[in-house]
Structure 1
Amino acid sequence: MTKPQPHPPVVVIDGTADILLLCDHASNRVPDGIVLGVDPDVMQRHVAVDIGAEPLTRALAARLAAPAMLATVSRLVIDLHREPDHPALIPVESDGVSVPGNDGADRFERIAWFHAPYHTALSHAVTARKPRLIVAIHSFTRQLETGGNPPRTLEAGVLYNRDVRAARVLVAGLRAQGIETGDNEPYSGRVLNATLNRHGEARGIACVSIEVRKDLIADTGGVARWCNILAPVIIAARDRIWRGE
């Protein structure tokens, strides 16, 4: 396979706040030289990109004057939110969608081309900026196509591993607004939290993932509404951490 043309591993939004925003699944881009073998419409679906997460991250960055790092490759190419040894790092199937072009893909090449540069960029940003809080923005689908699970009624989820400093403020703040909020749901950050484990917890930096149901941020109105909802609770979490509470 021809090595893809050089491409920045992240889009960087500058900011002065002591909060760093991350968006691992911001893009549905498939670099030249990689053929996934899926229908074009698949690349507009949640298996390829976290719908609404990229514009929401941008809106929050503007509202908070916060720096942000947005990934530039689809998770069907490589899932930047998983550890290099994770079996689903380069998915051959995702929620019932077959990805034949990934069958037999060179794992080490994909890591060297995309995963390693992305995490190197994040590491350098954390070292340079020394944020007080790292917040990862994701979105989740109302119902998976496979597994036979019922529709999710949650509007948002707050995910974390061992560090609960920001999570407890966010869960309480969102629930106080009447938002049906999952505490380590719709999946557990103790199971999948690779980016924040590496760049947050490993450095002793408070960190948390926020998941918003994709249909709620699928248009500009939804993004604006959720920016208004999330910005104050993120600031509240940062302030509690600053006070050492």
Structure 2
Amino acid sequence: MSETVFRHIGEARPGGIVAVCDHASNRVPEGLELGVSADVLEKHVAWDIGASGVCDRLARRHGIAAMLSDVSRLVIDMHREEEHDKLIPINTDGILVPGNIGADREARLDAYHRPYHAEIERWFDEVQPGLILSIHSFTPELESDPNQDRPWEIGLLYNQDERAAKHAIRLFGELGATVGDNEPYSGKQLNATMNRHAEARGRPYCAIEIRNDLIATETGQARWAAIIADVAGRVKLALDTFD
């Protein structure tokens, strides 16, 4: 099952920094018909564009081991609670997913969502990370609301535990980035994976949203991976020193 639900890159250091990516893949498992075009599978509704490449570079160049989902968010959204009404999306950013109408929710939970989260839990229990990075990307504009202003280059999301996020917001800002504080949406409303595996266990984390036009190329992915690795290292140092 692990070959079809998640993959690991790099070797985690106990107590170190790790990364997870809930929307790393646009893969639809063989035999599952969603009824969407190949073009739709390249859009942000199917995956977080560029996020997988950033995680790959974090792991291979900066020693931050990563765990990535290997199933499209159109099949099931790993970054939603099991009971969430958009766990298996039928209409997402104005795009209809006809194959999800009447989908067997329990079957998809058992096949994809539960094994993914069980592996995160196992991995974190084994590694006991000192800082978790949750890597996502967001669009410069929504297809369903093109007039919405999204000026941020990077955003930090958090729910109740803001320890790491506040350090990161300051550090990204000092590097000259346009930083969103709980933008482009609030972690108080959408923070499922970190609520479950970080906040509930007292583990510090940075839920990071990168504007996807900045990481659409390998050059952009390498640049932002280097920036994130630098900031993450300094966030962890601050947490270890002061918190």
TM range (shorter): over 0.9
User: Relative to structure 2, which stretch is displaced further, 148-157 or 203-212?
Assistant: 148-157
1:12 aligns with 2:12: no
Specify which of 43, 51, 54 is matched with residue 52 of structure 2.
Answer: 54
Query: Matched residues in 1 for 2:67 and 2:164: separation?
Result: 19
Q: Deviations 1:194-216 (Å, cap 9, x if unpaired)?
A: 00111111111001211110000
Question: Residue 28 of structure 1 aligns with which residue?
Answer: 26
Q: Give the letter for the 2:8 counterpart.
A: V
SS of corresponding position for 2:180: strand
Q: Deviations 1:94-134 (Å, cap 9, x if unpaired)?
A: 10110000000011111000000000010000010000111
How far is the alpha carbon of 1:64 from its aligned partner?
3.0
Question: Residue 67 of structure 1 aligns with which residue?
Answer: 65
Query: Matched residues in 2 for 1:103 and 1:203: separation?
Result: 35
Question: Residue 96 of structure 1 aligns with which residue?
Answer: 94
Specify which of 237, 240, 243 is matched with residue 241 of structure 2.
Answer: 243
Question: Residue 125 of structure 2 aligns with which residue?
Answer: 127
User: Relative to structure 2, which stretch is displaced further, 226-235 or 69-78?
Assistant: 226-235
Query: Matched residues in 2 for 1:113 and 1:187: separation?
Result: 29
TM-score (norm 1): 0.95
Question: Residue 191 of structure 2 aligns with which residue?
Answer: 193
Specify which of 169, 173, 183 is matched with residue 167 of structure 2.
Answer: 169
1:80 aligns with 2:84: no
Runs of 4 or more above 4 Å deviation: none
SS of corresponding position for 1:78: coil
Question: Structure 1 residues 6, 68: closer, same or farther in 2, change over 3 A?
Answer: closer
How far is the alpha carbon of 1:6 from its aligned partner?
7.6
How far is the alpha carbon of 1:72 from its aligned partner?
0.3
Check conservation: 1:49, 1:74, Cα contact below 8 A. Answer: yes
Question: Residue 182 of structure 1 aligns with which residue?
Answer: 180
Query: Matched residues in 2 for 1:193 and 1:143: separation?
Result: 21
Query: Matched residues in 2 for 1:220 and 1:7: separation?
Result: 25
Instruction: In structure 2, list runs of 5 or more residues that go unmatched.
Output: none
Question: Residue 37 of structure 2 aligns with which residue?
Answer: 39
Q: Give the letter for the 2:35 counterpart.
A: G
- Percent identity among equivalent residues? 47
Q: Give the letter for the 1:63 counterpart.
A: R
Query: Matched residues in 1 for 2:172 and 2:183: separation?
Result: 14
Check conservation: 2:12, 2:18, Cα contact below 8 A. Answer: no
Question: Residue 141 of structure 2 aligns with which residue?
Answer: 143
Instruction: In structure 1, list runs of 5 or more residues that go unmatched.
Output: none
TM-score (norm 2): 0.96
Query: Matched residues in 2 for 1:95 and 1:185: separation?
Result: 18
How far is the alpha carbon of 1:14 from its aligned partner?
2.7
Specify which of 111, 114, 121 is matched with residue 113 of structure 1.
Answer: 111
Check conservation: 1:154, 1:213, Cα contact below 8 A. Answer: yes
Q: How many residues align?
A: 241
Q: Give the letter for the 1:14 counterpart.
A: G
